[in-house]
Structure 1
């Protein structure tokens, strides 16, 4: 062994790779690099051909400009550097790079770019108002290549198999979420009753189902996260599926922070902006949380309203229709505490509320189990890429 480089390996500008591997610029393994010619609005609903823009999804169009096997790289915007693979007839936006005519395995190159292009973009991206990459960012990108196409394709196949598993898990998660959403629309409105329950539901105002009046969060700045301080929950920290999912944990330091701790059964609702109506039911597993000023806390009386039932109701069409109506009345996106107290909810008995919440909780647990499997598979793929795309593990 010489230094930290194992025998049979060499140090290169892309890291340590096997001695027989080579480092090449993308422009030498990909003989054609061009862009589409069309405006982003050229798409046609139900068109015959795929139309690739700088979005993660592709669209349809009635004409094609390419008939080849290619990698399509988003050249600007929020998804700059995102890579599509396609073989056949297609068209492309003028800021979408079309890479074709590959000397080496196109699938291997796709996986290699998928792992390394984001870092190259981070270093070299031209930010400005709209992030974009230049042709040179792609063509001058260095790629570590196994010596034979057979080895390249073996690596690509192994990684593609994992991608296929991840895609199948994503589809299963989406299906389970759709089933849960359908179940909620039926169970939370009384359209479908669980076995053993009957009788009329009673419509109540939310304010009549609470232990105390809705109250507003603390007005204090966020500080860097510390395990000696409570975490801070703000509107932006609540996901679309009502989870505490901050991009980056932060804390709050204030003498009166203790007045704003969330407890078991507490829910918070977003009261302003584009996220008005978004909600979160406190989960003790999320740790100590202090809620911010643009959130409103409600504390259901469990003798009248089960918190989990209210949390589920806050995802239904009936709830969101009410949110839109209230926002329109005020002339701007916003619902205050008094207005939230007027929210009408159709309530069954406490035993039926509990049974409905249990059914939905079981569905959530099923979704979470598949999500955990998907996340573990993603982590596995990251480890596989680290091994296979650097030659630490050889398949042939």
Structure 2
């Protein structure tokens, strides 16, 4: 059922659906021209303004790719991770590869931005369309038959304006986060190598450092370095109880307090070797290896699954400083070296044991942490704002795209 004045149309009734192609990479004259050529991964820009690669007129004329005009709504037919089913909208004319399709709408029937948000809201439905766990990908026939609920054109435009304004706010806030991260990373690099107010420096195993600093291995500064539950952890899961950290809960410098798994208090006692204490430093082993945060008082006596945890000797190193170092390029580079540069491999306890770490005096560690924390707090507050905006947008989409709440309509 749709509200009065709305229609349900198949996409083929109001849009052309076109895909592209890839000029032969064996012919150099087809590439590095002036014609933008979009790859499927670029769908994640959402508002596509530019492409990484360009083709020539010769490449265009000798392949299945074709021009798609500005305001074409794009969809990924297949691709890695979350790509398949993702949508975007062109802010400029481009050509594209065969893993993308474009909806060129009849503007008298459908507003392009409305269709973009409508399909964006149907992400899981689009992924499920291909069946067989997505191995076959989407195809043009499936896309043409998708039914779309279309309000009057004036209402479509108003809905698109409202949702676009929220998207703009999310994009602006994300830009602040990205810039703050860059500033923080550069400053931390400076603080972890030059310290605060030093004039004399010396060579060390990991470069120039202040003359009164030491370089020690993690093994030298930690009372314990171990790993969480690795053998069939799911056998211990219960609906509620003691929270267990997984990689997804460990973010760079903070705990993501959601999507927990739990074990019983009895299991937590049995698995005491991986039981955590406030002040322990957690380090992700795979996926995003080397990502680190500190266990807070709230999670004292919690447990962890397939995560490295380190318990620093606080007479030598503060937990927050150790986590900060591991998250920095100085730590991450050693993580990659330990894996032979292959991020899909596990970062293991032995590799952390041998990690070389700059060790300032405790007082200076405290000052470095204080500076770091200010930037981290700015980032966290901005991320909370982004999450709030995304929830607002989700609620608006559910209301506006179903007609539950009407806009731009006079009674």
TM-score by length of 2: 0.79
Query: How far off its partner does 1:140 sit?
Result: 1.5
Could you report, residue by residue, the CA deviation over 1:285-309 in whole angstroms, capped at 9, with x for unpaired residues?
45753123x4333211112101100
Residue 135 of structure 1: aligned partner: 140
Which of 306, 324, 342 does residue 336 from structure 2 map onto? 324
Per mean C-alpha deviation after superposition, the further-off stretch among 360-369 and 58-67 is 58-67
Q: Distance in 2 between matches of 1:319 and 1:388?
A: 47
Q: CA deviation at 1:370?
A: 0.7
**Contact 1:238–1:280 (CA under 8 A) maintained in structure 2:** no
Deviation at 1:158, TM superposition (A): 1.2
For residues 1-396 of structure 1, the aligned pairs below 5 Å read 12=1, 17-30=2-15, 32-38=16-22, 48-55=34-41, 56-57=44-45, 58-63=51-56, 65-69=66-70, 70-77=72-79, 78=81, 79-102=83-106, 103-116=109-122, 118-127=123-132, 130-147=135-152, 149-190=153-194, 193=197, 200-210=212-222, 212-223=223-234, 226=238, 228-234=240-246, 236-237=247-248, 241=252, 243-245=254-256, 248-252=259-263, 254=267, 256-270=270-284, 276-285=289-298, 289-292=302-305, 294-328=306-340, 333=345, 336-396=348-408
Do the aligned residues in 2 keep the contact of 1:225 with 1:249 (CA within 8 Å)?
no
RMSD (Å) for aligned C-alpha atoms: 3.2
Is the 2:174–2:386 Cα contact (8 Å) retained in structure 1? yes
Secondary structure of the structure 2 residue equivalent to 1:132: coil
Mapped partners of 2:86, 2:405: distance in 1: 27
Deviations 1:152-198 (A, max 9, x none): 11111111111111111111111111111111101111265499xx8
Counterpart-to-counterpart distance in 1, 2:74 and 2:117: 13
Tell me the distance in 1 between the aligned counterparts of 2:353 and 2:242. Answer: 28
Report if the CA contact (8 A) 2:242-2:302 is conserved: yes
Contact 2:240/2:263 (CA < 8 Å) preserved in 1? no
CA deviation after TM superposition for structure 1 residue 205, in Å: 2.7
Q: Is the 8 A contact 2:276 2:303 kept in 1?
A: yes
> Following TM superposition, by how much is the alpha carbon of 1:310 offset from its aligned partner in structure 2, in angstroms?
0.6
SS in 2 for 1:19: coil
| Structure 2 portions without partners, runs of 5+ | 46-50, 61-65, 200-209
- In structure 2, relative to structure 1, the CA distance for the partners of 1:225 and 1:337 (3 Å cut) is closer
Aligned residues: 371
Contact 1:71 1:99 in 2 (8 A): yes
SS of equivalent residue, structure 2 residue 193: coil
Gaps of 5+ in 1: 1-11
Provide the TM-score with structure 1 as the length reference.
Answer: 0.82
